Structure 1
């Protein structure tokens, strides 16, 4: 940790709330009759890329990309040998833990490996996903729109989905995924892009990360991932897969051409319905928080799910409890439901405290300036709000929420 502290001076964890601890038991009461609305607390980016890579070739489906029928066949994809992809240097080679060739159930080999540039995990993983369907662009094409500031620490799943749609594909952003659903999508040649926690090196500490899941192996109990940091066809043991995926509420993206629409509809079923999806996410978060009351990620997921239910008071209480247990200091870089919750219940000082603590470490998360601006606006400081929205747009001119907030002043 000494190296991390020298490279990235930071607090040990996210600042705790300035209020007494709560009794969280009430937050674990099931709400079976509640029908959650579509989340409305956060303004989602609506901008589309002004320029995309040149015309894409027609998609040539292969046996690994399409299925003959919607119902899953017993063996829709023949097991294949993992291709050999040389690492660009000894550093990347040393990080690699390749998946086993023995007993692979499904493997999609159409993704083009991209080792991420600086802070470019999101665009690199998105480029690998799009390449499965013939897209010829690179991570740098995607980054021009997704993160014009090279130092930007995060690209959200919804921003990546918006880019994929603008490139001519369908894209679904879902939460509360399951390993079995991932496997089913893989059987039909559809890779699954997940957001997860990541601890690649002890000295760097916890961070967020994207991976493209392209296969699985029940014999070896592992998923196979294209990883922009670790390398191609990496082993992700089943227990490690869910341990880190759940830290982001089991968020996943499915990107696909029109040919796959019926398959995706069949595989996802009721998970295409937001109230049903968030109802399941609430039950999962409550169960995990009850089973392990000292798990901050379970309580954080519960807060995010309550935001989706528009129960911002319960969301704020769940986030408070997660903070009191202790969250990794980078957590504010990636997920922003807690800002929505605190804004919604009038706790503007908490928004400012979290934003300022993040900005003190890095000034390259545009969402911090956006939320700080919203808090200042609510406190009757339109001049200060304007300044923060402008700072957000300086870092990412394509960040539509800040542009919309600025226009509303």
Structure 2
């Protein structure tokens, strides 16, 4: 597995590898060499960036101590969670995590929804996830000791179209580079800011953070207004729409369709999805397998929805029965609220 991973890494990272490796400085000290990064021996994450609880900081460069593991078959999600847990001094087993977070079907991927109850029950931790992540947000999280997980293409989609979880552990503004622990590609892998941005878009810029309950106030301060799910969905919609109109790519329009669906704009979602399909392949974009048929159902096009569900069954190697999702009730609520023209004073959640 390790040899195969290195071959894959050499293929997909050729365009993004950075020649020099940065040193990471704490505020008021000289830069610390990367050789000083070791597996933490205490329960708290050993963070080489200053944490400022009442004013979340963004240093020019930062890195977090983190264990690396190689994933088992189709187990990138649980492996990425296990690596994030290591920042708390927790040594978890990825196969135990697999059964809890993916179930026994090895073809099934991991969604973020099951992580919070699992880490809470076993370790007293919490997990949150949102769409609409940004490069700046990832940097701010790392600078303050959090290790965000992201859903992206494993490699450039011109090489393969496989959705993948990886864990962000560092960044360097000077090199415009993130450093990730990737369960398939390796430890402390450099990926450029632009590469992260481009290969994140098809998966709604989804990110997840595992954290201590006592750090929730700091995390909320970093995430800002988009801690509110309704505000997050609205912001994601505005961004995705602007990107689709400006980029004219299949990925941008499919993401616009996803954002429109999530915000309860079903007519707009249908038009955006259809435009995205016409511009290129949706192969590997697993979210479309649920959101497109559910958009049709929300518009009363039940026969079209059933046909779409069947036609999209080949988008990924995972059988449709294992990824089918119910209607997004939050999206339906947002559509209902918009129809009744609720004002901003109404509850947002």
Does residue 189 of the first structure (1) align with residue 145 of the second (2)? yes
The match for 2:279 is 325
Please state whether the residue corresponding to 1:158 is helix, strand or coil: coil
Q: Deviations over 1:204-239 (max 9, x none)?
A: x21211110110011111000000110010011111
The match for 1:78 is none
Does residue 296 of the first structure (1) align with residue 280 of the second (2)? no
The match for 2:130 is 174
Q: Deviations over 1:155-177 (max 9, x none)?
A: 11223344334432211111111
Q: Tell me how far 1:150 sits from its aligned partner.
A: 4.2
Q: Residues 48 and 64 of structure 2 are in contact (CA less than 8 Å); yes or no, is this contact kept in structure 1?
A: yes
Gaps of 5+ in 1: 1-56, 76-103, 373-409
Q: Deviations over 1:265-309 (max 9, x none)?
A: 11111011122212211111111111122x112222222222222
CA separation of 1:288 and 1:185: change in aligned 2, threshold 3 A: same
Bigger relative contact order, structure 1 or 2 (CA pairs below 8 A, ≥6 apart): 1
2: CA distance between counterparts of 1:264 and 1:132? 16
The match for 1:125 is 80
The match for 1:212 is 167
1: CA distance between counterparts of 2:127 and 2:199? 23
CA separation of 1:319 and 1:71: change in aligned 2, threshold 3 A: same
Does residue 309 of the first structure (1) align with residue 293 of the second (2)? no
Q: Deviations over 1:336-370 (max 9, x none)?
A: 32232122123334433343345567454544556
Does residue 146 of the first structure (1) align with residue 101 of the second (2)? yes
The match for 2:230 is 275
CA separation of 1:153 and 1:267: change in aligned 2, threshold 3 A: same
Match of 1:242 among 191, 197, 207: 197
2: CA distance between counterparts of 1:335 and 1:266? 34
The match for 1:108 is 64
For normalisation by structure 2, the TM-score amounts to 0.73
Task: Say what the alpha-carbon RMSD is for the aligned residues.
Answer: 2.8
2: CA distance between counterparts of 1:370 and 1:309? 17
Aligned length: 285
Q: Residues 64 and 142 of structure 2 are in contact (CA less than 8 Å); yes or no, is this contact kept in structure 1?
A: yes
1: CA distance between counterparts of 2:257 and 2:58? 39
Q: Tell me how far 1:63 sits from its aligned partner.
A: 4.8
Q: Deviations over 1:185-216 (max 9, x none)?
A: 1111111111112326966x212111101100
Q: Deviations over 1:301-350 (max 9, x none)?
A: 22222222222222222212212222332223676322321221233344
CA separation of 1:119 and 1:225: change in aligned 2, threshold 3 A: same
Q: Residues 70 and 262 of structure 1 are in contact (CA less than 8 Å); yes or no, is this contact kept in structure 2?
A: no
Q: Tell me how far 1:132 sits from its aligned partner.
A: 1.2
CA separation of 1:185 and 1:362: change in aligned 2, threshold 3 A: closer
For normalisation by structure 1, the TM-score amounts to 0.63
The match for 1:225 is 180
Q: Residues 316 and 338 of structure 1 are in contact (CA less than 8 Å); yes or no, is this contact kept in structure 2?
A: yes
Please state whether the residue corresponding to 2:282 is helix, strand or coil: coil
Please state whether the residue corresponding to 1:336 is helix, strand or coil: helix
Q: Residues 132 and 236 of structure 2 are in contact (CA less than 8 Å); yes or no, is this contact kept in structure 1?
A: yes
Q: Tell me how far 1:258 sits from its aligned partner.
A: 1.8
Q: Tell me how far 1:64 sits from its aligned partner.
A: 4.5
The match for 2:333 is none
Does residue 198 of the first structure (1) align with residue 182 of the second (2)? no
Q: Tell me how far 1:371 sits from its aligned partner.
A: 6.4
1: CA distance between counterparts of 2:114 and 2:85? 14
Q: Deviations over 1:48-106 (max 9, x none)?
A: xxxxxxxxx9933545588353213575xxxxxxxxxxxxxxxxxxxxxxxxxxxx811
2: CA distance between counterparts of 1:364 and 1:165? 30
Which deviates more, 127-136 or 325-334? 325-334
